[in-house]
């Protein structure tokens, strides 16, 4: 059996399935990426005669935001032109693909696969925590405890609320958005509304009391008590929440949860809305200019700020690893010669 050549870019933050990896090792020639952050070296190795000149697949496994290759974004147009003609498949862990030029990959005849649903449970659990923290201001309470300000924490009794019977507006009712909605509806007894490119009746049917669809984001903001962002980041969704949207909030104020991408929210406008009371709660795992924080949010302990760790769970790493290798094996040795979860179509 012919052994295809695979370039492996592996983060140390991963969970390895020894059985599946042994099968891959037996059926593929594996070259381990060792260029570090030296992208000029990577490009030179892709050229004729280079070490990577005959690769047929790239697998990037583990956590892209952990390990030595955090800023190695090699699936963008500036690199794609250097790929050898032999390269036909890229498998990369994670749900998001905002750092990938899908159009350029498609034009080059290269399949691109992510690992959908791999981190759904982990991120949805994070979303549920952030909802609770936005309502109950747990970060402020912990800050008071750690800084011997017990008495100061008593003010929470006049402002914190429980989210039951409040309207949770989900923006993006995909795998993660739906999982958050299910948890919030069942555990917190929240009423679910959502904005999505299209109505999702089958998803609505999985919720205890169904859900209400809004064709526009603005329509959702007008009625929601809490908004949870779980949608992809694109040029069209950049700053989808900014001053005009915050101005539509109910008089009681809006709480916002972000487990998607930081640039969905205009943080300057957010800070102003927090000051004016249009936004009364902010809890986020992602940030507009991460890893840097907006200075007015950094010292605001009435907000909850996590360092993009919603995905961080051994179950996520296992699912990521399996998803990448399943795509790889199906493409090269499956009956149809197609990967399982491509984001583009050739």
State the catalytic residue, choosing from 287, 308, 321, 330. Answer: 308
Residue 146 designated active-site: no
Q: Find all residues with CB under 8 Å of 272, minimum gap 6, and list them.
A: 243, 246
- Segment holding 112, helix H or strand E: strand 111-113
- Report d(CA 307, CA 284) in Å as an integer: 9
CB 6 within 8 A of CB 55: yes
Residue 142 designated active-site: no
CB 193 within 8 A of CB 176: no
Q: Find all residues with CB under 8 Å of 229, minimum gap 6, and list them.
A: 171, 172, 240, 241, 256, 257, 258, 259, 260, 261, 264, 265
Residue 61: CA count within 13 A, CB half-sphere: 25
Residue 134: CA count within 13 A, CB half-sphere: 29
State the catalytic residue, choosing from 290, 294, 329, 338. Answer: 290
State the catalytic residue, choosing from 14, 136, 195, 261. Answer: 261
- Segment holding 267, helix H or strand E: helix 267-276
- Report d(CA 100, CA 75) in Å as an integer: 5
How far is residue 270 from each of residues 4, 218, 239, 257, measured CA to CA in Å? 50, 16, 10, 12
Residue 267 designated active-site: no
Q: Which residues are catalytic?
A: 261, 290, 308
């Amino acid at each position: 059996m012919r052994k295809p050549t695979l370039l492996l870019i592996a983060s140390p933050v991963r969970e390895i399935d020894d059985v599946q990896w042994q099968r891959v090792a037996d059926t593929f020639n594996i070259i381990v990426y060792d260029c570090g952050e030296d992208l000029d070296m990577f490009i030179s190795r892709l050229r004729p005669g280079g070490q990577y000149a005959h690769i047929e697949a790239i697998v990037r496994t583990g956590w892209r935001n952990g390990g030595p290759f955090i800023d190695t974004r090699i699936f963008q147009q500036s690199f794609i032109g250097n790929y050898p003609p032999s390269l036909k498949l890229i498998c990369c862990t994670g749900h998001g693909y905002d750092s990938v030029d899908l159009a350029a990959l498609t034009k080059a005849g290269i399949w691109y696969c992510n690992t959908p649903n791999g981190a759904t449970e982990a991120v949805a659990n994070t979303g549920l925590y952030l909802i609770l923290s936005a309502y109950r201001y747990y970060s402020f309470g912990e800050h008071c405890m750690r800084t011997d300000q017990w008495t100061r924490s008593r003010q929470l009794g006049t402002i914190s609320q429980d989210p039951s019977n409040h309207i949770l507006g989900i923006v993006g009712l995909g795998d993660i958005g739906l999982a958050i909605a299910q948890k919030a509806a069942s555990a917190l007894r929240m009423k679910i509304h959502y904005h999505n490119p299209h109505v999702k009746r089958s998803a609505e049917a999985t919720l205890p009391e169904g859900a209400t669809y809004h064709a526009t984001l603005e329509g959702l903001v007008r009625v929601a008590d809490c908004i949870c962002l779980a949608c992809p980041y694109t040029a069209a969704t950049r700053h989808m929440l900014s001053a005009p949207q915050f101005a539509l909030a109910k008089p009681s104020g809006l709480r916002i949860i972000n487990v998607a991408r930081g640039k969905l929210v205009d943080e300057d406008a957010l800070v102003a809305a927090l000051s004016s009371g249009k936004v009364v709660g902010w809890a986020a795992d992602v940030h507009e200019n991460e890893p840097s924080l907006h200075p007015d949010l950094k010292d605001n302990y009435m907000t909850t700020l996590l360092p993009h760790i919603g995905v961080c769970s051994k179950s996520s790493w296992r699912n990521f690893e399996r998803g990448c290798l399943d795509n790889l094996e199906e493409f090269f040795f499956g009956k149809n010669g197609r990967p399982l979860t491509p984001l583009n179509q050739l």
